[in-house]
Amino acid sequence: MMASTEVLAFAANRMLIEALILISPPLAAVLLVGLAVSLIQVGTRMTDLTLGFVPRFAVILLVTALTLPWMGERLSAYFHDCVAQAADRF
């Protein structure tokens, strides 16, 4: 049987990995759009702040809306696993 500190460390590690997996699709899309917008701004020498903000905001909303069912399923499975593991320990 694992000590309580090992259980907490394992749970924290698993939680951080799940968080990174869940945030990766919106983050990757925003990074790619940010790079594209920056290249366009450099090429046209146009330095408008809203030109950089609006596309990123729109992409993060779109990608989050498209991946929300997957995120919900993954988060629900993670929660059920955590509850099952907690039930097994007590």
Answer yes or no: is pLDDT of 1 > 60. no
Q: Name the percent of the chain lying above pLDDT 70.
A: 97
Task: State the residue for tokens 């394992």.
Answer: 10
Task: Output the pLDDT for position 2.
Answer: 63
In angstroms, the CA 56 to CA 78 distance is 29
| 73 close to 21: Cβ distance less than 8 angstroms | no
pLDDT tens across 15-34, in order? 999 999 999 999 999 999 99
